[in-house]
Each structure stands twice: as structure tokens, then as C-alpha cells.
């Protein structure tokens, strides 16, 4: 600030409610009187009047704020090799302020929500058709939920069994048949597209996936695929621990169906002899597990490559914490706050707030951040490195935990008694950049966000989030209301954790909010989903991402997740395979909005068109 300390260019004085500035000697903050200031100004009005500051408010000084402030720092950097009066290049006039801002737009849809005849969406043909539809609208981003194997009680992808593996239930069955890994006679019975029944899908697919893996491993005609699988295995050594852990929790009698911290001591502590014995005992199932992970990886990377060829990038999603019952923790016990048995000492959550009197107790084991720093954040480099194999960018859920996190005793029944602790901050991201190159993340910074979280996000250049459904309840200073948006952000009408916009308007929006929205958006509310999408695309935010349910104008029967509930989540499906033709009108509408608000991309035709 201009009035800060001995290194400031100016001191400030107050007079009749106005702020005046005076040149500082840069050696001390000398007291200045109002009368003295005006006498000095009058005496030097002819000789120094152009040097006198005329500001009447305390503002950031662009001359000292550096390049990112668009102040003199950036100007000096562009022409630093030139002296005053030097000739500028002939192309000088072509370098205008009207350069493209690379504004983008995208859509949220998890692959399990895609059309498909076998009970759930897959990463096969329907995923390619969806990419074609996204590209036809001019949108450049497809955001997915975590692709990890979901836990099998509530089927949440945010409580995955392994942070590095893919969900093999998404593997395309028809693609396995085309590859010869299954026979046409193996096709499951086709069922109408409805809410995903994950239990039925799991039970029907496990035998098919086992058959496909065994053929890959045993038949000579698949030697080429086996070479690819061996390459996948060598490039991703984490899959060995993941495969062994799966066998121990699913197949071995003295370890299955119990927490790994309750296992016999030798295997719990990963003694070399115990690991070697378990690996030998489960050799066939380990090979099968790795084969299926390779097939998932192969199919998904084909989808990603096709999307990228259409100028559509994949945005992934990564919860900050991992589950206790996972290879991620068992294989790296020294990096978590665990007791001697391996049980968590402190767990994650958030403190009480306006929405919960007792806070939220998540139960994930907390990281031992000093231990991560000592090992050079290699665990995090492996995790983010895997993410960038599967995605072009990754949204990090609960980003605020990198600045400050809520620590709760693992024995507590609520989150009320927790304490705030300092996170790793920018040091983590500097290390990741050194190891991986630029780490392209979106910072999920919703909820109660303190100054250190904002400063960390800005320091690493990560965009934050604004959500239009949160914008209308607290007046014109609300962070999420459009006139307060900032360029380096992602604007969502709502996310997968929210109601659909139509559902929110019908079921949850207060009358005062509705009246404010009608005034603000100049709307009657009859197409509120369209209003919110248009406002999101119009926003100054560099990126805008909308839910497919909003594009389809669906109510809360299409909601993906209701946080805190345990039923009817994650199972929504978009409809039959002709849905993309039915959405032609909506796609054309989006395309026009993107052209109107400078979010366009080159539109490429589907392959073979």
C-alpha cells in the first residue's frame, strides 16, 4: 500500500474525510501536518505540480506490484532491452490489448452417467459420442468425478478404494468383445437406461472381467497387448501394492473384511518375508488385477486422446484426503498420523459452522506433513503424476487443507473438539513443479476461506471457484455474485454436490433470493437454468463449467449427490443413446452463447463425418 512503512513512496494524511498523499523521504515516517502539506503544495505548485500525487484513496501501488498487477513491472519487462527514444519494431502496432483471453467453457458429466445398455455408463463408444457432442457446442472441457474404484457401500467416487487405480466397472464390454477378449455370447443382457444399480453391475461384470483378463494373460494372440501391459506395469510401480492390497482385503482369510491395521503384525508392518509370501500366494490374482488396470488405462487414454484431438480437455477431480482402508496408506504408513498398530491418531473434518452445529467428521487419516517434506513430497508427485496421465487438469477438493486443516482426535464422536493446524503451503507446490512441471489444478475453495488460503491459491496461480447458487443470500458483497467474480476462477451455476438449478429454484431458493435474481438477471425465472448458464458464460471468470442436468433443464430427480445422505447418490443416467441428437437445440444455444461471450473453440467434425 502507498502508506506502508519506511519503504513507501508516499505518506498519507486525513483531512475532512479525504486521504492525501505526500512524498516520503524513504528513511522515516515523518509527521506531517495538514497545514504544512497545503503550504508545501502551494509553494511548489508551478515547479513541481506534475509530481504531486492527486490520489484521494488508499490503493495498491502498480509501480511496485510487479508484472501480474498489469502495472509498470509488466511494461518494463516487455521493453526492457530498449532505451527511451529507441525505435520500436515494425510489428509494434500489431501487439494490441485485444489479444484473445482464452476464455473457456465445459460440462460436468461422470462416465457412469453416460448412455449404455448394460446397467451403467462405460468408457466405450458412448464416451466418444459425448466428446463429439461437447466439441460440436464449442465447449473445450469435460469435467469428470474421480475415476477411482468407489467404495462399495454407498458407491461414492470420493471415498475410493485406491487413489491411483481406475474403476474397472467402467471398462467397455463391447470394446472387450471387439478386441477378442470376450465373445459375442458373453454380452450381458441389455436393460433400459435407468439409475445405475452398481451392485447388480458389479455382480454381473466380475466374471466377464475375469475372463477377459485371463485371455489377455494366457492366449498367444494377445502377446502385443501383454507387452503394452508390461510397459504399463513398469511405468506405474504403485500398481504392485494396489494389487496385493486388493488380494489381502478380498481373498486372504486372515486379512479380508477387516481394517489393515487389524492384520497379523508381519503383513501389517510390511515385513519383507510376509510381503514375499503373500505375493507368491496371490500371484494369479495379482496378475489379473494388473491386467484389468491396464485395460481400464488403455480404454480411458483412448477417450482422452480422442477428446484432445477435438480440442476438448479432460478435467479430473481429486479429494485431498485418501481413505484409511487403502493401499495408499498401508504402503506408506510413515506419511500419515498413525499409532503403532496403524490406526489413525488424528482424522480430517471441518469445524462447526452455520450448516452443522457439530461440524463434519470425515474420518480420513491426516497426513504427517513434516514426513512428506522430508521425503521430498514424492508421494504427492506420484499421486499428481498419475492424475495427469488421466486428465489434462485436476480439481483438488478441499484445497484449503494445504494452507490450514482441521485436526480431530480419532476417538472423538464429532468434529467439535478439533484444532486448526498449518498445512504445507507453497512448499508442496514448488516441489511438485520441480518434479512434474506446471501442476494444472483448480482449487476448490468453497466454504469458510481464510486469507492464507487465498494467498496460497494466488501464489501458485491456481483458479478458484465461484458458484451461482451461492450468490444471492447475503447481498451485493457476496463472493459468488457475478460482479465480484475475478478472472482466474471457474464459474459454476452448480456443482455435482448441488441441486440442479431447476431443482434449487423450485425446492430451496428463498423468495427474497428469487426476487433479487429476477432484478439482477432481468428474468422472470421461467428458464432459470438457462439464465444461470448464460450468466456463467458471461462471467469475467476465465472458465465456466455447467452441469449436463442444467443443459437438459432437469429438476432434482436428476441430482448427482446430496452431501450427508446415503441413498440415491451417484446413480443418475443421462438417457438412451439418441440423447445427443435430442440435445441438438441446446447444443446450438450453448454455441451461440459461447460466441457471444468470447468462449469459442474451433469446432471439429466427428471422425468419419
Residues assigned a catalytic role: 397, 444, 497
- The rounded radius of gyration (Å) of the Cα atoms in the chain is 28
Half-sphere exposure of 449 (CA within 13 A, CB side): 19
3-state class (DSSP) for residue 473 = coil
Q: Are 244 and 286 in contact (CB under 8 A)?
A: yes
Q: Are 324 and 152 in contact (CB under 8 A)?
A: no
Whose cell is 477417450? That residue is 303
Q: Are 317 and 144 in contact (CB under 8 A)?
A: yes
Cβ atoms within 10 Å, residue 539 = 24
Distance CA 259, CA 341 (A): 11
Give the contacts of 585 (CB within 8 A, at least 6 positions apart). Answer: none
Q: Are 485 and 537 in contact (CB under 8 A)?
A: no
DSSP letter, residue 344 = B
Distance CA 236, CA 386 (A): 8
Residue 62 CB burial class (10 angstroms; 0-12, 13-18, ≥19): middle
Rounded to a whole number, what is the distance in angstroms from the first to the last CA of the chain? 58
Strand partners, 406: 349, 420
Helices (H) and strands (E) in the chain, counts: 21, 14
Calculate the CA dihedral of residues 65, 66, 67, 69 and round it to 10 degrees: -10
Distance CA 420, CA 61 (A): 34
Q: Are 236 and 312 in contact (CB under 8 A)?
A: no
Q: Are 158 and 397 in contact (CB under 8 A)?
A: yes
Distance CA 139, CA 134 (A): 6
Calculate the CA dihedral of residues 380, 385, 387, 393 and round it to 10 degrees: 100
H/E element, 524: none
Angle between helices 238-250 and 272-281 (to 10 degrees): 70
Q: Are 143 and 151 in contact (CB under 8 A)?
A: no
Amino acid at each position: 500500500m502507498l502508506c506502508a512503512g519506511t519503504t513507501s513512496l508516499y505518506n498519507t494524511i486525513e483531512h475532512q474525510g479525504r486521504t492525501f498523499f505526500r512524498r516520503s523521504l524513504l528513511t522515516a515516517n515523518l509527521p506531517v501536518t495538514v497545514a504544512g502539506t497545503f503550504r508545501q503544495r502551494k509553494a511548489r505548485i508551478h515547479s513541481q505540480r506534475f509530481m504531486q500525487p492527486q490520489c484521494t484513496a488508499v490503493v495498491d501501488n502498480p509501480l511496485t506490484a510487479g508484472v501480474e498487477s498489469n502495472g509498470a513491472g509488466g511494461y518494463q519487462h516487455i521493453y526492457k532491452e530498449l532505451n527511451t527514444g529507441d525505435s520500436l519494431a515494425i510489428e509494434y502496432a500489431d501487439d494490441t490489448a485485444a489479444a484473445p483471453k482464452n476464455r473457456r467453457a465445459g460440462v460436468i458429466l461422470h462416465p457412469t452417467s453416460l448412455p449404455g445398455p448394460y446397467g451403467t455408463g462405460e468408457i466405450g463408444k458412448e464416451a466418444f459420442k459425448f466428446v463429439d457432442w461437447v466439441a460440436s457446442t464449442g465447449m473445450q472441457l469435460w469435467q469428470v468425478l474421480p475415476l477411482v474404484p468407489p467404495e462399495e457401500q454407498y458407491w461414492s467416487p470420493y471415498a475410493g478404494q485406491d487413489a491411483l487405480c481406475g474403476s474397472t466397472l467402467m471398462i467397455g464390454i463391447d470394446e472387450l468383445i471387439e478386441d477378442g477378449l470376450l465373445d459375442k455370447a458373453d454380452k450381458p443382457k441389455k436393460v433400459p437406461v435407468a439409475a445405475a444399480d452398481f451392485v447388480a453391475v458389479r455382480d454381473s461384470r466380475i466374471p466377464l472381467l475375469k475372463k477377459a483378463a485371463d485371455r489377455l494373460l494366457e492366449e498367444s494372440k494377445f502377446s502385443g497387448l501383454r507387452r503394452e501391459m508390461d510397459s504399463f506395469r513398469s511405468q506405474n510401480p504403485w500398481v504392485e501394492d494396489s494389487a496385493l492390497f486388493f488380494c489381502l482385503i478380498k481373498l486372504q482369510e486372515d486379512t479380508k473384511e477387516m481394517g489393515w491395521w487389524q492384520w497379523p503384525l508381519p503383513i501389517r508392518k510390511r515385513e519383507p518375508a510376509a510381503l514375499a509370501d503373500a505375493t507368491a500366494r496371490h500371484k494369479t490374482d495379482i496378475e489379473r488385477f494388473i491386467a484389468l488396470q491396464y485395460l481400464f488405462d488403455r480404454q480411458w487414454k483412448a477417450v482422452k486422446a480422442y477428446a484432445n484431438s477435438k480440442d476438448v480437455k479432460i478435467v479430473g477431480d481429486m479429494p485431498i484426503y485418501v481413505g484409511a482402508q487403502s493401499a495408499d496408506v498401508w504402503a506408506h504408513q510413515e506419511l500419515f498420523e498413525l499409532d503403532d498398530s496403524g490406526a489413525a491418531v488424528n482424522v480430517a473434518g471441518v469445524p462447526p459452522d452455520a450448516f452443522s452445529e457439530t461440524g463434519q467428521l470425515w474420518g480420513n487419516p491426516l497426513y504427517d506433513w513434516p514426513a512428506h517434506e522430508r521425503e521430498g513430497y514424492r508421494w504427492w508427485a506420484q499421486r499428481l503424476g498419475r492424475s495427469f496421465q488421466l486428465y489434462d487438469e485436476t480439481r483438488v477438493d478441499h484445497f484449503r487443507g494445504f494452507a490450514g486443516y482441521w485436526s480431530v482426535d480419532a476417538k472423538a464422536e464429532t468434529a467439535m473438539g478439533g484444532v486448526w493446524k498449518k498445512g504445507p503451503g507453497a512448499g508442496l507446490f514448488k516441489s511438485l513443479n520441480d518434479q512434474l512441471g506446471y501442476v494444472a489444478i483448480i482449487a476448490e475453495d468453497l466454504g469458510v476461506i481464510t486469507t492464507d488460503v487465498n494467498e496460497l491459491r494466488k501464489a501458485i496461480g491456481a483458479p478458484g471457484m465461484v458458484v451461482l447458487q451461492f450468490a444471492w443470500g447475503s447481498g451485493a458483497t457476496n463472493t459468488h455474485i457475478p460482479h465480484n467474480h475475478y478472472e482466474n476462477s471457474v464459474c459454476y451455476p452448480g456443482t455435482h454436490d448441488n441441486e440442479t438449478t431447476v431443482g434449487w429454484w423450485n425446492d430451496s431458493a428463498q423468495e427474497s433470493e428469487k426476487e433479487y435474481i429476477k432484478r439482477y438477471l432481468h428474468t422472470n425465472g421461467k428458464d432459470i437454468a438457462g439464465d444461470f448458464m448464460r450468466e456463467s458464460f458471461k462471467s469475467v471468470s476465465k472458465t465456466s463449467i455447467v452441469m449436463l442436468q442444467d443443459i437438459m433443464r432437469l429438476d432434482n430427480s436428476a441430482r448427482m449427490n446430496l452431501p450427508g445422505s446415503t441413498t440415491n447418490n451417484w446413480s443418475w443416467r443421462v438417457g438412451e443413446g439418441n440423447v445427443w441428437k435430442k440435445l441438438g437445440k441446446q447444443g446450438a444455444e450453448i454455441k451461440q452463447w459461447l460466441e457471444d461471450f468470447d468462449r469459442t473453440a474451433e469446432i471439429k467434425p466427428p471422425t468419419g463425418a
